[in-house]
Amino acid sequence: MKKNSKSTRQSKGKSVHKTTRTSPKITIGIDLGDQKSHYCILDPEGEVLSEGTVRTTESGFAQQFQRMAHSRIVLETGTHSPWVSRLLECYGHEVIVANTRQVRAIYDNDNKTDKVDARTLARLARVDKRLLHPVRHRSAQAQTDLVLLKARDQLVSTRTQLINSVRGMVKSVGGRLPSSSSAYFARKVREHLPDAVREALLPLLEQIEAITVQITAYDKKIECLCHTKYPKTQLIRQIPSVGSLTSLAFILTIDDPYRFQKSRTVGSYLGLRPRRDDSGASSPQLPITKAGDRFLRRLLINCSQHVLGRFGTDTDLRRWGLSLMERGGKNARKRAVVAVARKLAVMMHSLWITGEVYEPLRQANKLKVVAA
């Protein structure tokens, strides 16, 4: 009898422990705003415990969530989601960052308000967090270093707009400026400005020169980061047409290469995979998804265009891309550029993981050996 009673108590204890361990947590949905954020708190049964707003600052979130029991909190992707998710994780909460682009119940709601969005996020996270298509933000250090690259990109975009404006205004008075690279534009076209607009356009040329100096300073900082802080970029830069800017942007955006089980999935992660809408025998050709980081995707497309251009180095990748272009069709080159960019991302991830030496004509040499 004693043994039976003891075993009964042990089994009861195990069952109770298992129940408490797997019991659902409190679920909180937060719709992030620039000034204030709306939140909705659900109990384990799915009933609303409370709703309200909190200031979108560190002190505001600390006052509301720092002393709260560990809960499951779900946020939307946005400008504030990286630092808010890291802050809430420091408080011990389970944080889910929802990809709202994949959740039609949020972005396609005909009764969309901040309060409704917070409640919807909480209910979806309570049922199954995979319904939210969670995303993983990069680390705080990677986010800080990536700002350097995006600041440079903004200056390049501003300089391009100024150059196009100067050319357009000169054409409007019957003049024409000689061709020139962006770096030497102001120096080369200064003496070719028409007298009628010279006084008005000289300040713009001065701004273009100042921006060029700042871009050069950014380039030196990026090169320094590659050599001192991110030496793995040297593995990626083995690929012709891939420089310090693209390799560093790739490492900072991916952040943790081991979160991908296969290198092939990196292309889909960066939005370079074609969409699918198959139904029965219908399988239309659709454009790429354009998911993921837009900045890195644009850099990869630029590298791909250089690979397929007339100054591209002879490699297996170039030969493969040119073969795609020869298949015909009005969009053959566009599809080839995207395909090469997708393959570039896969190769960059593979070199980062394995640390192998890049062989430009590896496949071609294999075919020669087989033929011999």
Residue 77, helix vs strand vs coil: coil
Contact between 342 and 230 under an 8 Å Cβ cutoff? The reply is no
274-290: per-residue pLDDT in tens?
887 777 777 787 888 88
> What is the 8-class DSSP label of residue 278?
-
Query: Of 345, 306, 305, 340, whose CA–CA distance to 324 is shortest?
Result: 340
How many other CB atoms are there within 10 angstroms of residue 78's CB atom?
14
| Whether the predicted model's global pTM rises above the 0.85 cut | no
The full set of domain ranges for the chain reads: 27-135, 141-229, 234-275+284-365
pLDDT of residue 274: 86
Identity at 231, one-letter amino acid code: P
Contact between 28 and 40 under an 8 Å Cβ cutoff? The reply is yes
pLDDT of residue 204: 96
237-268: per-residue pLDDT in tens?
999 999 999 999 999 999 999 999 999 999 99
Of 3.30.1490.190, 3.40.190.10, 3.30.420.40, 3.90.1660.10, the CATH number of 27-135 is 3.30.420.40
Residues of the chain with pLDDT under 70: 1-24, 105, 107-108
In the block, residue with structure tokens 């320094």: 224
pLDDT of residue 14: 40
